[in-house]
């Protein structure tokens, strides 16, 4: 299997919503995005190692990935890991920003260093590193002319990560990770043990309604910054945003029943959203919020 095939397989087998967004892209851009995703998935897996895994060994693994990133940017640099070699090609062809790739590793390391966040403002830097930084890499591959695309990417990345946190709140709690702000838990009288035990109460629904409102704030901010002139180039980003926004709608419609089950959209629904976004971009419909959910 070639390295390109490996990157593609990692993206497809993960079941990620990103796979449906990438399908609309020309092959060179699609393969570059698969390389970025494979890098993110591989680095993230270091933090997600089984409980009891050697923390220092995981830190050494992340340090090795920082070295690999440095090789991607060195003239004549030769990364050792096959995914890093593929990423180096994407760096060369599309000018991926080094600070963004390094921020992704920093975000993964945050999962080794801390398990809780006191306030939403404390959480947002984590969201930037593990999601917005990915978006900043993606838009370089998509292509854009309006610098507002960067603001769009940052806000959309935060919205997507907050949606992930809502979807995975139960599963995360059971492995000791509580991303919901601690001050919110205290405000609604919901404790970490309630999340781990899957106690779905009125207080929990109120807590999650607040989290959803924050996510929607960032979706609105992203769409307010969307550069309409770049609608065709950024259609894959819009597909990602619309799929995740529809996922948030589905979670909310089910009363935030996420503690003991994972809410997901059907493959048919994702494809339908992707097709609507693609058609809207081709017809010059722009990105009016809510059009493609």
**Domain 114-293 in the same topology as domain 1-96:** yes
The pTM for the full model equals 0.90
Alpha-carbon distance 151 to 233, whole Å? Answer: 16
Burial class of residue 35 in the structure, from the number of CB atoms within 10 Å of its CB (0-12 exposed, 13-18 middle, 19+ buried): buried
The number of residues in the chain equals 293
In the prediction, which pLDDT does 9 show? 47
DSSP state of 198: T
Domains of the chain, residue spans: 1-96, 114-293
Mean pLDDT, rounded, for 51-58: 75
| Phi and psi at residue 57, to the nearest 5° | -65, -40
**How high is the pLDDT of residue 2?**
45
Superfamily of domain covering 1-96: Farnesyl Diphosphate Synthase (1.10.600.10)
Residues 166/256, Cβ–Cβ less than 8 Å: yes
Q: What is the structure's pLDDT at 292?
A: 45
Q: At what angle do helices 98-113 and 133-142 cross, to 10 degrees?
A: 150
Percent over 90 (pLDDT), the chain: 78
Domain 114-293, what fold? Farnesyl Diphosphate Synthase (1.10.600)
Cβ-contact 265, 251 below 8 angstroms: no
Cα angle at 71 between 3 and 129, to 5 degrees? 85
Average model confidence (pLDDT) across the chain: 89
pLDDT in tens, 236-282: 999 999 999 999 999 999 999 999 999 999 999 999 999 999 899 98
Q: Is 1 exposed, middle or buried (0-12, 13-18, 19+ CB in 10 A)?
A: exposed
**Model pLDDT, residue 50:** 55
Query: In this predicted model, what pLDDT tens digit does every residue of 16-44 receive, in sequence order?
Result: 566 667 777 889 999 999 999 999 999 99
- pLDDT-derived band at 52, boundaries 50, 70, 90: low
In this structure, are residues 117 and 179 in contact, taking their beta carbons and an 8 Å threshold? Answer: yes
Confidence class of residue 171 from pLDDT cuts 50, 70 and 90? very high
In order, the DSSP letters of 119-163 are SHHHHHHHHIIIIIHHHHHHHHHH--SSTHHHHHHHHHHHHHHHH
**pLDDT for residue 95 is more than 80:** yes
Provide the pLDDT confidence category of residue 134 given band limits of 50, 70 and 90.
very high
- Residue 53 pLDDT > 80: no
Per-residue confidence (pLDDT) for residue 19, from 0 to 100: 67
């Amino acid at each position: 299997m070639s390295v390109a095939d490996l990157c593609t397989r990692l993206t497809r087998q993960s079941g990620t919503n990103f796979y449906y967004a990438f399908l609309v892209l020309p092959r060179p851009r699609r393969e570059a995005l698969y390389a970025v995703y494979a890098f993110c998935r591989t680095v993230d897996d270091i933090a997600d190692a089984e409980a009891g895994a050697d923390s220092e060994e995981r830190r050494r693994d992340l340090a090795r990935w920082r070295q690999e990133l440095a090789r991607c940017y060195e003239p004549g640099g030769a990364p050792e890991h096959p995914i890093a070699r593929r990423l180096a090609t994407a760096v060369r062809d599309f000018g991926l920003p080094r600070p963004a790739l390094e921020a992704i590793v920093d975000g993964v390391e945050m999962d080794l260093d801390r398990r809780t966040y006191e306030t939403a403002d404390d959480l947002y830097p984590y969201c930037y590193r593990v999601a917005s930084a990915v978006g900043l890499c993606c838009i370089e591959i998509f292509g854009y002319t309006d610098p507002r695309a960067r603001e769009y990417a940052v806000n959309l990345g935060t919205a997507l990560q907050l949606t992930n946190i809502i979807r995975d709140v139960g599963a995360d709690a059971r492995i000791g990770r509580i991303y919901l702000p601690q001050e919110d838990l205290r405000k609604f009288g919901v404790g970490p043990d309630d999340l781990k035990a899957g106690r779905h109460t009125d207080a929990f629904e109120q807590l999650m309604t607040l989290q959803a409102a924050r996510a929607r704030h960032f979706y609105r901010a992203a769409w307010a910054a969307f550069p309409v002139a770049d609608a065709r180039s950024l259609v894959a980003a819009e597909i990602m945003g619309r799929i995740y926004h529809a996922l948030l709608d589905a979670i909310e419609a089910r009363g935030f029943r996420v503690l003991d089950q994972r809410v997901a959209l059907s493959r048919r629904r994702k494809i339908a959203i992707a097709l609507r976004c693609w058609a809207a971009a081709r017809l010059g419909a722009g990105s009016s919020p809510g059009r493609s959910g």
